[in-house]
A and B are shown apart, each in its own frame.
Chain A
Amino acid sequence: MPISISNAEILETIQMIESENLDIRTITMGISLRDCAHPDIDVLCDKIYQKITTYAKDLVKVGEEVAEDYGIPIINKRISVTPISIVADSCEAPDYVKIAKTLDAAARAVGVNFIGGFSALVQKGMTKGDEKLIQSIPQALAETEFVCASVNVASSKAGINMDAVRLMGEAVKKSAELTADNDGLGSAKLVVFCNAVEDNPFMAGAFHGVGEAEVVLNVGVSGPGVVLNAVRKIPDAPFDELATTIKHTAFKVTRTGELVGREAAKRLGIPFGIVDLSLAPTPAIGDSVADILEAMGLERCGTHGTTAALAMLNDAVKKGGAMASSHVGGLSGAFIPVSEDAGMIRAVEEDALHLDKLEAMTCVCSVGLDMIAVPGDTSAETIAAIIADEAAIGMINKKTTAVRIIPVPGKKVGETVVFGGLLGYAPIMAVNQYQSSKFIQRGGRIPAPIHALNN
Chain B
Amino acid sequence: MEKNTNRVVVTAVGKDTKGIIAAVSTALAERDINILDISQTILQEFFTMIMVVDMTDCQISFSNLKEELGLLGQKHGVVISCQHEEIFQYMHRI
Instruction: Give the B-binding residues of A (Cβ under 8 A).
Output: 1-5, 7, 9-11, 13-14, 17-18, 68-72, 252, 255-256, 258-259
- State whether B92 touches A252 (Cβ < 8 A): yes
- State whether A10 touches B36 (Cβ < 8 A): no
Among the listed B7, B41, B48, which residue makes an inter-chain contact with A3, where contact means beta carbons less than 8 Å apart? B7
CA distance in complex: A70, B62 (Å):
9
CB distance from B60 to the nearest CB of A (A): 13
Judge if B85 is at the interface, Cβ distance under 8 Å: yes
Q: With contacts A3-B7, A7-B50 known, is A256 near B88, CB below 8 A?
A: no
Which residue, of A18, A256, A259, has the highest number of chain B Cβ atoms within 10 A?
A259
CB distance from B64 to the nearest CB of A (A): 10
CA distance in complex: A70, B85 (Å):
9
CA distance in complex: A255, B92 (Å):
8
Quick one: CB contact mask for B3-46 with A, threshold 8 Å, 1 for yes? 00001010101000000000000000000000011010100000
Question: Which of chain B's residues have a CB closer than 8 A to the CB of A14?
Answer: 11, 13, 81, 83
Among the listed B62, B88, B93, which residue makes an inter-chain contact with A10, where contact means beta carbons less than 8 Å apart? B88
Judge if B74 is at the interface, Cβ distance under 8 Å: no
Chain A: CB-nearest residue to B79: A18
- State whether B84 touches A71 (Cβ < 8 A): yes
Question: Which of chain B's residues have a CB closer than 8 A to the CB of A9?
Answer: 88, 91-92
A-B contact count (CB 8 A): 72
CA distance in complex: A5, B90 (Å):
10
CB distance from A213 to the nearest CB of B (A): 24
Among the listed A7, A10, A71, which residue makes an inter-chain contact with B66, where contact means beta carbons less than 8 Å apart? A71
CB distance from A12 to the nearest CB of B (A): 8
Interface of A is mostly: helix
CA distance in complex: A68, B67 (Å):
11
Judge if B52 is at the interface, Cβ distance under 8 Å: yes
- State whether B66 touches A13 (Cβ < 8 A): no
CB distance from B68 to the nearest CB of A (A): 14
Question: Which 6 pairs from chain A and chain B are nearest by CB?
Answer: A2-B37, A259-B90, A5-B88, A9-B92, A252-B91, A255-B90
Chain A: CB-nearest residue to B36: A1
CA distance in complex: A72, B13 (Å):
19
CB distance from B54 to the nearest CB of A (A): 9
- State whether A3 touches B88 (Cβ < 8 A): yes
Quick one: CB contact mask for B53-94 with A, threshold 8 Å, 1 for yes? 000000000110010000000000001011111111111110
CA distance in complex: A7, B9 (Å):
11
Question: Which of chain B's residues have a CB closer than 8 A to the CB of A69?
Answer: 62-63, 84
- Tier of interface size on chain B: 20 to 34
- State whether A255 touches B91 (Cβ < 8 A): yes
CA distance in complex: A295, B13 (Å):
28
Q: With contacts A9-B92, A14-B11 known, is A2 near B87, CB below 8 A?
A: no
Chain B: CB-nearest residue to A262: B90
Chain B: CB-nearest residue to A7: B50
CB distance from A327 to the nearest CB of B (A): 15
Question: Which of chain B's residues have a CB closer than 8 A to the CB of A255?
Answer: 90-91
Question: Which of chain B's residues have a CB closer than 8 A to the CB of A3?
Answer: 7, 9, 37, 52, 85, 88-89
Among the listed B37, B39, B79, B83, which residue makes an inter-chain contact with A13, where contact means beta carbons less than 8 Å apart? B83
Question: Which of chain B's residues have a CB closer than 8 A to the CB of A2?
Answer: 36-37, 52
CB distance from B40 to the nearest CB of A (A): 10
Question: Which of chain B's residues have a CB closer than 8 A to the CB of A256?
Answer: 87, 90-91
- State whether A71 touches B82 (Cβ < 8 A): yes
* Extra A-B contacts (8), CB below 8 Å, given A3-B88, A9-B92, A256-B91: A2-B36, A3-B9, A11-B50, A14-B11, A14-B83, A18-B79, A71-B82, A255-B91
Q: With contacts A2-B37, A3-B52, A70-B84 known, is A10 near B90, CB below 8 A?
A: no
CA distance in complex: A439, B60 (Å):
68
CA distance in complex: A256, B91 (Å):
6
CB distance from A262 to the nearest CB of B (A): 10
Question: Which of chain A's residues have a CB closer than 8 A to the CB of B91?
Answer: 9, 13, 252, 255-256
- State whether A259 touches B62 (Cβ < 8 A): no
Question: Which of chain B's residues have a CB closer than 8 A to the CB of A1?
Answer: 36-37
